[in-house]
Chains A and B, each alone.
Chain A
Amino acid sequence: MRVAEMYKKWALPVIALVSVLLPSVQFAANPLSPGAPVQVTTSGLELGNVVTPPVVSGNGSGFMTTFTISAGAPPGILTAFSAFSINDGGSWTNASINPLQLTASPGHYFPTWVSGTAAGFMASWVDLDTEGKPPASGNYPYTSLYPPGGPWGSPDEINSSEASSLFTVISGTSADFVVTWLVPPMSMIFSFYSGISPDNGMTWNPVSFPEMTLVSAPILVSGFGPKFMAVANVNMGNITPFISTNGTSWSLTAAAPMPVALVNSDIWVSGTAAGFMLTWQDNAGNAYSSFSADDGTTWSTPSPIASGLAGGTDVVVSGSDVGYVVTWVDGLSNDAYASFSSDQGTNWSTPVNITNGVDSVQLNASSNFADFVGVSVVGNNVMFTWLSGSNVYSSFSTLGGVPSVLQPPQNPSGSKKKNNFGTFIERFNLLQWGPSLSTGVAGYYVYRSGVKIATLSASASQYEDHNQKKGAVTSYAITAFDAAGNESAPVDITIN
């Protein structure tokens, strides 16, 4: 009876209090099953020590992780470094991106960023200028391209007119690469710039952001299709997204999501065919997401992902057609956790521990950048990377049981052509299309009247169907497929 009385007395108030204090996390079934951590780097004489969190990106050919290492007494000789894996993290091949000395003063360790597309992997980092001036005289964002098969190309300085650049972040699409960076503030005015390269880093065209005050750097950026979204933490905790439809100008989105509490981290963004997802940690240690399907015109109500995060660490998000995966660092164990959502963040799966108490995340790796756990989703494949001690570790997972939703090719068109040899005329139908917006596309199938007639590579953008009868009406369908055998919905072309 006493217990029953206590229950009657306290149950409702306790439930009410808990419901107010704790975010209403709804967990869905979890398709993530991270494998055992793999050590990516070897500290010591060979590489020096890794001093920044590793960024990871996949493009269907493999996963690339990039980081900054320091050799010698602090701040040491800093080098932009990478590790590439073609076997889902089974083994990694380390390579130096830039043998020059990066920005080298104690506490000025900036991550080396990377983004992968069909053109390869593009890395960006902050470096001393080529004249070897001290950091105070000018640090510049540099990039280098790792084309399919590698190796890294010569470093390319993006912007020689804006001195003392910091915090570079890069994102690539099938059309362009965009880099963002900060020019240290004059008084309270922060000047952010971006550079867009339509030719895989051969040339960069700087574009300035609108001036902002009280901004927490960096500005994270993510692109999909022709669009890029960048997002800043402004006025000590407010989310400020910018949209660019072609990379040549930035405009504030019409409405930003209202955080439950002020933001206490960098704000990460990931673009997919469905839209853009933002993730952050608030100043109560909770992880949230918000999604926009209309380029930031409207945002969903922030969805809780997890609580009890290590203070100030980032909530990293990466998405594909399958869904979104987020990572964070637990504040008690320093373990890395991940969660998955297939419904644009409305529901997040039960968190899974990636590190399992072994090789937990090294915090306070860089005083300039928040600590984070890298994640990259390509189709159904997920790669995690993190810094533990002074080495990079990785873990791989598939999204088991989650159907792939490959995007079909874009803008299909067809036309009749005459292959004219003067003496003979042979008629053919020319089919053309733009690339699928999905990452991890392995190729395209072409169907004529429901019968598969061609299997083409991912780089194909046209097909000629020869020896056609004059005046015939022919129906075609084109689909994209990935390495796992998934196939997109067809796009139809009828040639009269």
Chain B
Amino acid sequence: MLKPLFCLILPSVLLTQVFCEEVQPTLEDFLFPDKEESEVPDMAASGVPDKEKVEAQVSEPCPTVACCSREVMPILEVKAGYFFFANHTMRKIYDDGGLDVQLSGSCPVLDGLNLYGSVEYLSKHGRSLSGDQRTSVWMLPVSLGIKPIFFISPRIQYYFAIGPRYFYFHQHNHSSYVPTNASRNGIGGFVNTGFNFLSRKNLLIDVFGEYSYEKTHFHSYDKTHVEGEKVQVGGFVFGGGLGYAF
């Protein structure tokens, strides 16, 4: 449990150091190494006095609209991460796979507050406990929520999002003793949090973590004495994304 959190926090801290320390190389330097110094606005040509020019250079190290105005922009992101179940038994059974891909977006509705939405797909596979029979699951959650955003620096945003989600859960079992295919859908909730690191070209890098709660009930089959379980099929996702701020 702590390892994924650490994996989220460490790159965030590193990226924060890179983006906040002006004398250090910025992410932009890595993304756009060929950028000429002449692209910096020529203060003399714009008629700004020398004193103001110096102050502008000190106070405006990042002159793009997206990151300097501290104005929250609509964002569209593609994210990928590693998913694992919150439920201990599910985690023991499904110990392989776990790639989670998301398409998410947010749009400002109030000052610092965004409307958030995402479509997600993930799959995992493993073997049944004691029976050692192959089984796999995939899920398709659709989330909607609110997403407050806070600026740590002109280039760094901290955010969290919370809201309900609809999920579709499908299980395939390589067993003749339980249903081969079983599907359920339902309503759950999610919360995620992370950091956006903004570049001058409206691009952003997102490092995030997410928790979801998706409880569902599988029916029992009296004829074959198969007992359905109430199970929490949500879990944790930790990963990163690449987005664009409009």
Contacts and interface: CB of A to CB of B under 8 A. Distances in A.
Interface of A: 417-428, 464, 466-470
Contact of A421 (B87, B175, B224): B175
Contact of B227 (A425, A464, A466): A425
Nearest to A420: B129
A422 B89 contact: yes
A418 B133 CA distance: 12
Given A424-B227, A425-B229, A419 B175 contact: yes
Given A420-B131, A424-B173, 8 more contacts: A419-B133, A419-B177, A419-B178, A421-B171, A422-B229, A424-B218, A426-B225, A428-B130
B227 A421 contact: no
Contacts of A466: 177
Greatest chain B CB density within 10 A among A418, A419, A466, A470 is at A419
Interface in B62-110: 87, 89-90, 93-94
Q: Is the interface of A mostly helix, strand, loop or mixed?
A: strand
A459 B228 CA distance: 35
Nearest to B91: A422
Given A468-B225, A470-B225, A423 B130 contact: no
Given A418-B129, A466-B177, A470-B227, A423 B182 contact: yes
B179 interface: yes
B152 interface: no
B131 A426 contact: yes
Given A423-B171, A426-B131, A467 B228 contact: no
A470 B222 CA distance: 11
Contact of B182 (A417, A418, A424, A426): A424
Contacts of A419: 128-131, 133, 175, 177-178
Interface in B168-194: 171, 173, 175, 177-179, 182
B135 interface: yes
Interface string B128-168: 11110101000000000000000000000000000000000
Contact of A467 (B89, B129, B177, B231): B177
B226 interface: yes
Contacts of B231: 422-423
B87 to A, nearest CB: 7
Contact of B173 (A421, A425, A469): A421
Greatest chain B CB density within 10 A among A424, A425, A470 is at A424
Contacts of A421: 93, 128, 131, 133, 135, 171, 173, 175, 178
Given A418-B129, A420-B89, A466-B177, A426 B171 contact: no
Nearest to B133: A419
B224 A467 contact: yes
Contacts of B179: 424
A466 B93 CA distance: 19
A424 B227 CA distance: 6
Nearest to B85: A422
Interface in B208-230: 218, 224-229
A31 B140 CA distance: 74
Contacts of B227: 424-427, 470
Contacts of B224: 426, 467
A428 B175 CA distance: 13
Contacts of B128: 419-421
Contact of A422 (B94, B130, B177): B94
Contacts of B226: 424-426, 467
B225 A424 contact: no
A467 B176 CA distance: 10
B90 A424 contact: no
A147 B175 CA distance: 33
Contacts of A426: 131, 175, 177-178, 224-227
B226 to A, nearest CB: 5
A424 B229 contact: yes
8 contacts: A417-B130, A420-B128, A421-B93, A421-B131, A422-B231, A423-B231, A426-B225, A426-B227
A427 B128 CA distance: 12
Given A417-B131, A428-B177, A422 B90 contact: yes
Contacts of A428: 130-131, 177
Nearest to B87: A422
B225 A427 contact: yes
Nearest to B216: A423
A467 to B, nearest CB: 5
Contacts of A417: 130-131
A467 B90 CA distance: 21
Nearest to B171: A423
B225 A467 contact: yes
Interface in B115-130: 128-130
B173 to A, nearest CB: 6
Minimum-distance CB pairs A-B, first 10: A419-B131, A420-B129, A424-B178, A417-B130, A422-B90, A423-B218, A466-B177, A425-B227, A426-B177, A469-B225
Contacts of B135: 421-422
A467 B94 CA distance: 22
B169 to A, nearest CB: 8
A466 B89 CA distance: 21
Greatest chain A CB density within 10 A among B93, B129, B130, B133 is at B130
Contacts of B129: 418-420
A422 B228 CA distance: 9
Nearest to A419: B131
A423 B233 CA distance: 9
B93 A424 contact: no
A303 to B, nearest CB: 54
Given A426-B225, A467-B226, A418 B178 contact: no
Nearest to A430: B130
Contacts of B228: 423-424
A422 B217 CA distance: 11
A418 B130 contact: yes
A421 B89 CA distance: 9
A470 B228 CA distance: 13
A332 to B, nearest CB: 66
A467 B223 CA distance: 9
A426 B182 CA distance: 15
Contacts of A425: 226-227, 229
Contacts of B178: 419, 421, 424, 426
Contacts of B218: 423-424
A466 B128 CA distance: 14
